[in-house]
Amino acid sequence: MTPPTAMEELRMVEDRTSGLVNGLLGVIIFAGSLPATRVAVADFDPVFLTLARAAIAGLLGLALLLLFREKRPSRSDILPLVVVSLCVVIGFPLLTALALRHVTAAHSIVFIGLLPLATALFGVLRGGERPRPAFWLLSGLGSALVVGFALSQGFAAAPTGDLLMLAAIVVCGWGYAEGATLSRRLGGWQVISWALLLALPVTASAALALRPASMAATSTPAWLGLAYVSLFSMLIGFVFWYRGLAQGGIAAVGQLQLLQPFFGLALAGLLIGETVTWPMLMACAAVAACVAGARRFAR
């Protein structure tokens, strides 16, 4: 194999750097998702919330596709787009909304530390990436710390919420890896827009059918929560996230998700007044310590 030229090496470094920047912006945006969902489910039914956020984002995605006159995906892209739609448009939002009926946003945020491992696993299966053994060791250690945190916080007291969060992580990891693979061909915002559009007939009609009889009692924070998860969590965040995964690699950029709990805990404490305990912070710190080491062995 011919070694890369200096220009090619520089381009690869620039792609990786750009991928990390875009990935970090996506992580910061996603960090607000669970606190916003926690606020929204106080007044909205979790199923309605999931459908409404997807329908609103789907209409915005449709507008973007029409505005930029994007070419339709090929037939071979349809099935992967359906997977993205089922995983990140429906699956993850629904499972987390249901989980947040049983646990606090601060508690659930720590589970996000498992996302890098789930994303990397599906990246190997679907993206053709081959991280080195040390990557799996460090990722596994970070994930074990998250599981240990859940057990130490009384898993038996709220098993439903924790199990729903674990299921959400698996589903989300699959959707992230599938979307990142598609982003290399279609582009980041195009992938999530097409995925939202595929689900739009179902999400829009079902949201209308399941809408509350009266919206008068809905609080302003709940409306703001719905607005955030519809605009930022479902669309804008994915524009940066999928671009970052495609540029910097699924396994490498995926490790940035280990930083998401820090941002999420800060938002949960500052914006919605939830208690952030020392065990939560220590678990996040220990998990995030795996990021630098794991990234070194991601390729």
What is the overall mean pLDDT for the chain? 86
> What's the pLDDT score for residue 138?
81
Note the pLDDT tens digit of each residue in 2-45.
Answer: 666 767 677 777 778 898 999 999 999 999 999 999 999 999 99
Indicate whether 103 pLDDT > 80: yes
195 or 140: which carries more pLDDT confidence?
A: 195
> What's the pLDDT score for residue 269?
87
Token pair of 190 as six digits: 């195009």
Indicate whether 156 pLDDT > 80: no
Distance of CA 122 to the CA centre of its chain: 14
Q: What is the pTM assigned to this prediction?
A: 0.85
Indicate whether 1 pLDDT > 60: no
Residue 146: phi and psi, rounded to 5, are -65, -45
| pLDDT tier at 118, thresholds 50, 70, 90 | confident
Alpha-carbon distance of 229 to 237, in angstroms, equals: 10
Report, as an integer, the average pLDDT of 39-64.
95
Indicate whether 155 pLDDT > 60: no
| pLDDT tier at 263, thresholds 50, 70, 90 | confident
Annotated domain spans of the chain: 13-296
**Alpha-carbon separation of residue 91 from 95, 236, 245, 262 (angstroms):** 6, 18, 20, 24
Write the CB contacts of 271 (distance below 8 Å, at least 6 apart in sequence): 35
Report, as an integer, the average pLDDT of 236-244.
89
Distance of CA 166 to the CA centre of its chain: 13
Indicate whether 265 pLDDT > 70: yes
Report, as an integer, the average pLDDT of 66-91.
94
Alpha-carbon distance of 55 to 236, in angstroms, equals: 15
Alpha-carbon distance of 30 to 141, in angstroms, equals: 23
Alpha-carbon distance of 84 to 30, in angstroms, equals: 16
| pLDDT tier at 158, thresholds 50, 70, 90 | low
> What's the pLDDT score for residue 292?
60
78 or 118: which carries more pLDDT confidence?
A: 78
> What's the pLDDT score for residue 116?
77
> What's the pLDDT score for residue 127?
62
